[in-house]
Chain A
C-alpha cells in the first residue's frame, strides 16, 4: 500500500498534469536568475586583470558545460529506473533529456571555441575539457541515433537505456583518459578559470547562472516530457479530456 503513491506518480495522465502545473514554478525563477546573473556577470562584475572582458563568456559557458554532464547523468538514472522497474514515464524522461543535453553540450562547445579565439588565438584547441565535451556530444548523438532507429517505442526505450548506462560508466574513464592524453602531448597553456580565487562579484553571478540553468533545464524537461507523454499515449482515452482547451 505504501507504493500506491509511487504508481500514481508514474501514471501518464498524472505526470502530464503535474508537469504542466510545475513548469511555471521552474521557468519563472529560472528566467529571473538568468536575467540577474547576466546583468551581474556582463555589467556589474569587474573585468579580469588578464583577460579583460573576454572572460565574461564564462557566464554562459560554464553553466552549459555543467548542464551537459548533469543532463547525461539524469538521463542515465532515468533510463536505469525505467529498465529496472519497467517504469514507462522514466523512459519518457530519458528520451526528453537527450536533445536538451545535446544542445547544452553544443552551446558549451561553441562558447568555448569563441572564448578560445581571442585567448588562444585559435577557435579550436585540443584542450582536454573541450575534447571530452566533444566526445560527450558524440555520445548524445549516438544515443539519439539509436533511439530513432527503432520503430517500436518500448524497444527503443530499453535498448537506449542500456546504452545510457554503458555511457555513464564510460564518461569518467573518457574524461580522465583525455586529460592524461593531453597532459602528455602538450604543455598546459590554458589559464584555469573557476578557481576558488575568483572574487565575489564575479562568483555570485556565476552561481546564479548555474542555478538558473539548472531550473531552466527542469522547465524544459517538463515541457518536453509533456510532449513525449502525449505522443506516447496518443491512443489513450484520457488525452482528449486533458488537452481540450
Chain B
C-alpha cells in the first residue's frame, strides 16, 4: 500500500468517525456565530459602524473557532493509542498527518468558509462580497489548519493544553489573519481582492509543504 492510498484511507476514516459525532462538528460553527454576535452587542447595532470592522470580526472569530476545533484533531487518537499505531505502521507519518489535517479542514474550515458570508452579511457586507468572503476564508483556513496541526502535535502530551495551544499558534497565524482580513475587507468594499488572496494561497502552500513534516516530528517526539 502506497503512502498516498494509506492517506486516502485515513481521510475516509476520519470523515466517517466525525459524522458519527455530529455535535462535535456543529460546536465550532455555533462558537463562530456567538463570537460574531458579541460585536454588534458590544459595539453598536448600526450597520454603518459595523461594516468597517466586519472583515476583522469575521477573521478574529474564524481564528478562534479554528483554534477551538484543533483540540479534536489528535486528541482521541492520542488517548486510545491509535496515533502510536500510525507512527509504528511503517507508512509515512507525514502523509497520514497531512490526511488527518485535510479531514480536519473539510470538517471545520470548509463549513466556516460557507458560514462566514452569513456573518459578513449580518455585519453590513453587500451580497456581492459573498464569493470573496468564501474564497478568502476557505483558503485561509487551510493555512490555519496546517499551522494548528503543528501546535496540536506539540501539545499532544500536555493535559489542559487549551491556553498554551492558543499562545503557541495565534502568533504564528498572524500573517494569515492580516492577508485574510485584507482580502475580505477588499471584497466587502467591492474592489479587487486578488493580491491578498494570492498571498494567502502562498501561505497555505508553504504550510502544506512544511507543516506536516513539523507535525510528524513533534508527534514522534511526544510518543517516545
- Name A's B-contacting residues (CB within 8 A): 135, 138-139, 141-142, 145-146, 149-150, 155, 158-159, 162-163, 165-167, 169-170, 173-174, 177-178, 180-181, 184
Interface set, chain B 120-167, CB cutoff 8 A to A: 150, 154-155, 157-158, 161, 164, 167
User: Which residues of chain A are near B105, meaning CB under 8 Å?
Assistant: none
- Name B's A-contacting residues (CB within 8 A): 150, 154-155, 157-158, 161, 164, 167-168, 170-172, 174-175, 178-179, 182, 199, 203, 210, 214, 217-218, 221-222, 224
Complex alpha-carbon distance, A167 and B203, angstroms: 14
Asked whether A149 lies within 8 Å of B164 as measured between CB atoms, the reply is yes
Asked whether A162 lies within 8 Å of B221 as measured between CB atoms, the reply is yes
Asked whether B174 lies within 8 Å of A135 as measured between CB atoms, the reply is yes
User: Which residues of chain A are near B164, meaning CB under 8 Å?
Assistant: 142, 145-146, 149
Known: A159-B222, A162-B221. A173 touches B154 (CB 8 A): no
The 9 closest A-B pairs by CB, nearest first: A177-B175, A138-B171, A142-B168, A181-B178, A158-B221, A142-B167, A149-B158, A177-B178, A162-B218
Complex alpha-carbon distance, A147 and B40, angstroms: 39
Asked whether B178 lies within 8 Å of A159 as measured between CB atoms, the reply is no
| 29 residue pairs A–B, Cβ–Cβ below 8 Å | A139-B172, A142-B164, A142-B167, A145-B168, A146-B155, A149-B155, A149-B161, A155-B221, A159-B154, A159-B157, A159-B218, A159-B221, A162-B214, A162-B217, A162-B221, A163-B168, A165-B214, A167-B172, A173-B175, A173-B203, A174-B174, A174-B175, A177-B174, A177-B199, A178-B174, A180-B178, A181-B178, A181-B182, A184-B182
User: Which residues of chain A are near B178, meaning CB under 8 Å?
Assistant: 177-178, 180-181
User: Which residues of chain B are near A169, meaning CB under 8 Å?
Assistant: 210
Complex alpha-carbon distance, A139 and B167, angstroms: 8
User: A140's closest neighbor in chain B, by CB?
Assistant: B171
User: Which residues of chain B are near A162, meaning CB under 8 Å?
Assistant: 150, 154, 214, 217-218, 221
Complex alpha-carbon distance, A218 and B161, angstroms: 34
20 other A-B residue contacts (CB within 8 Å) besides A138-B167, A142-B164, A165-B214: A135-B174, A138-B170, A138-B171, A141-B167, A142-B167, A142-B168, A150-B158, A155-B221, A155-B222, A155-B224, A159-B154, A159-B218, A162-B217, A162-B218, A163-B168, A166-B150, A167-B172, A177-B178, A178-B178, A181-B178
How distant is B175 from chain A, measured CB to nearest CB, in Å?
4
Complex alpha-carbon distance, A111 and B221, angstroms: 39
